[in-house]
Amino acid sequence: METLGHFVGGKQVEGRSNRTHDIYDPVRGTVRRQVSLATAEEVREAIGRAQDAFPAWAAVNPQRRARVMFEFKRLVEKDKDRLAKLLSEEHGKTVPDAMGDVQRGLEVIEFSCGIPHLQKGEYTEGAGPDIDVYSMRQPLGVCAGITPFNFPAMIPMWMFGPAIAAGNTFINKPSERDPSVPLRLAELMMEAGAPEGVLNVVNGDKEAVDTILEDPRVKAVSFVGSSDIAQYIYATGTAHNKRVQAFGGAKNHMVVLPDADMENAASQLVGSAYGSAGERCMATPVVVPVGDGTAERLIEALKPKIEALRIGPSDQDVDIGPLVTKEHKERVRGWIDRAVEEGQEVLVDGRDQGVEGYEDGFFMGATLLDKVKPEHESYKQEIFGPVLQIVRADTLEEAIRLPSEHQYGNGVAIFTASGSAARKFAQEVEVGMVGVNVPIPVPVAYHSFGGWKRSGFGDTNQHGPEGVRFWTKVKTVTQRWDWDEELGASEFVIPTMK
């Protein structure tokens, strides 16, 4: 069986470790290939290659670095069909959805092509007598990205696009569940003209991650994954004096007011709750209808749409593919069982819905649960599967409180015809990304992405101007080239304004 290795110093390298991880074909439930899990020594070697490549890459002028990004974009576009197929094979999301995964990553590469402008510093002439002040944004050095299984194209590109464009060198540690696309992206980056060692991919698990977190040559770490790991990465990375941003799990709510267009709200909700089998950090696993009448109208509109969902092999004309692994499928099932024990009403039960001819695949139907209460554990925790929970609220204020008081604060949406209600909601809700009549409010590449509370540890968001700030540090120069006797005299006190 094929065993994937790593991509270091401009080429594919075989893994030397005796530990491997199985990569599945989620449609058939079989092992498709394996991936080698790097030893600490292998990770350190990759960091060394990235460190060696850094001074020369940082010295390349920003316009030339941008040209590598332009070429990378062209190559990824050319390879898009193959990348989407490879992604879908290991992840299980449908091929068109995998195409979207590649596309949303590429949009950040497009944004990164503007690095000559984005990285420009500031200048003040005459800040003091014959003194000028300027600041520059310099790259940090070796940077790392630790990425999750659910967006194996988009999230690596969100990280390494702006990082590399700004003059850093990079190590991506992708999810061990679907590492083929990140490996292919590194190959394409070399083909685009990035020097060897500028983008490396090291496959591995906790051992590889801990090596990255502890090595003093790594200056910054961006993480996306579940919240407990995000918190661990943030605490460990910052304790080792690194700049860290760590994005965690989510439990996004969609509030539906009585004046919403119910057909539209239900259509949008079915897509955002069950698309990609609910394995999206910006999925909508909770809906909050305001008023029982709204809840009944929404359920009536939702049920036939859920029953019409087509579930099947990811490369066929279906709406939803399988979950990523058997273990994850069982976890999701466990949460639905728990919800039933907690007293929730099962309006649609997808637990035993399989796909004929693919009995060993990790398929699961869509589930709809009503009468969910904020104190239920299955509401408090992320399920990350095709499960939608209905939490009924009596007022807009209560509907604002629910997502605001939840431990996660990634995304939230409101569906309404009232501008005034939407404005109040957007201003008051304690969540990082808000949609108004938009179910999955993922900001476009030139804005920035990030959640609040246990959905995001650290100060800066991903991509957009915030991403450029994260991957660069400011140096400020105060200079004087001319002086006379008075200006050149010794000063023993801090000068005050006159």
Selected range binding ligand NAD among 50-58, 185-193, 203-211, 291-299, rule: CB under 6 A: 203-211
Q: Which residue from 9, 10, 148, 464 is in contact with ligand NAD, where contact means CB under 6 A?
A: 148
String of DSSP letters for 443-490: PPTTS-B--EETTEESS--BSHHHHHHHTEEEEEEEEE----HHHHS-
Partner residues linked to 137 by β-bridges: 474
Residue whose beta carbon is closest to ligand NAD: 225
- In the list 205, 214, 261, 430, the residue contacting ligand NAD (rule: CB under 6 A) is 205
| Residue 125 Cβ vs ligand NAD, minimum distance, rounded to whole Å | 41
- Report how far apart, in Å, the C-alpha atoms of 449 and of each of 94, 165, 167, 410 are: 24, 19, 22, 9
Residue of 226, 381, 407, 418 interacting with ligand NAD (CB under 6 A): 226
Q: How far is the CB of 443 from ligand NAD (least distance, A)?
A: 11
Residue 466 within binding range of ligand NAD, rule CB under 6 A:
no
d(CA 366, CA 323): 12
Q: Say whether residue 457 binds ligand NAD (CB under 6 A).
A: no
| Beta carbon of residue 408, minimum distance to ligand NAD (angstroms, whole number) | 8
| Burial (CB count within 10 angstroms: exposed 0-12, middle 13-18, buried 19+), residue 363 | buried
In which element (H, E) is residue 288 found? Answer: strand 286-289
User: How far, in Å, CA of 473 to CA of 493, rounded?
Assistant: 30
Contact 62, 115 (CB under 8 A): yes
Residue 229 sits in the site that holds ligand NAD (CB under 6 A): yes
- With tokens 């209905």, the residue in question is 390
For ligand NAD, the closer CB: 74 or 206: 206
Footprint of ligand NAD on 261-290 (CB under 6 A)? 281
**Shortest Å distance, C-beta 175 to ligand NAD:** 5
Contact 139, 51 (CB under 8 A): no
Q: Which stretch binds ligand NAD (CB under 6 A): 144-152, 163-171, 341-349, 440-448?
A: 144-152
Q: Which of 163, 213, 229, 281 is catalytic?
A: 281
* 49 binding ligand NAD? (CB under 6 A): no
Q: Which of 156, 248, 275, 278 binds ligand NAD (CB under 6 A)?
A: 248
Asked if 384 interacts with ligand NAD (CB under 6 A), we say yes
Give the integer Cα–Cα distance in Å for 472 and 474: 7
**Least gap, CB of 150 to ligand NAD (angstroms):** 5
Token digits for 203? 């496959």
At position 131, the amino acid (one-letter code) is I
Select the span of 7-15, 73-81, 241-249, 438-446 touching ligand NAD (CB under 6 A).
Answer: 241-249
Closest CA to 478 of 136, 59, 137, 140: 136
Interaction between residue 252 and ligand NAD (CB under 6 A): no
Q: What is the DSSP letter of 99?
A: H
Please, what is the end-to-end C-alpha distance for the chain in angstroms?
77
Q: Could you say which of 36, 112, 389, 410 contacts ligand NAD (CB under 6 A)? A: 410
Are the beta carbons of 334 and 367 closer than 8 angstroms? no
215 binds ligand NAD, rule: CB under 6 A: no
Closest distance between ligand NAD and the C-beta of residue 250, in Å?
5
Q: For the segment 354-383, give every residue that binds ligand NAD (CB under 6 A).
A: 382
Residue (34 or 135) nearer to ligand NAD, CB: 34
State yes or no: residue 455 binds ligand NAD (CB under 6 A): yes
d(CA 311, CA 324): 14
* Residue 15 binds ligand NAD (CB under 6 A): no
**List 112, 169, 175, 200, residue binding ligand NAD (CB under 6 A):** 175
Choose between 134 and 452: whose C-beta lies nearer to ligand NAD.
452
Report the nearest approach of ligand NAD to the CB of residue 120 (Å). Answer: 28
**Closest of 198, 104, 120 to residue 158, by C-alpha:** 104
Q: Where are the beta strands (DSSP E) in 14-109?
A: 20-25, 30-36
Active site includes 281? yes
CA-CA distance, 7 to 146, in Å (whole number)?
Answer: 15
CB of 422 to ligand NAD, least distance (A): 24
Which residue among 8, 75, 108, 146 contacts ligand NAD (CB under 6 A)? Answer: 146
What are the C-alpha distances in Å from 66 to residues 62, 110, 170, 194, 250?
Answer: 6, 9, 16, 10, 34
Which of the ranges 172-180, 186-194, 265-273, 434-442 carries the binding residues for ligand NAD, by CB under 6 A? Answer: 172-180
Which of the 8 DSSP states describes residue 324?
A: S
| 225 in contact with ligand NAD (CB under 6 A) | yes
| Interface residue list for ligand NAD (CB under 6 A) | 146-151, 173, 175-176, 205-206, 209, 224-226, 229, 247-250, 281, 382, 384, 410, 451, 455
Active site residues: 281
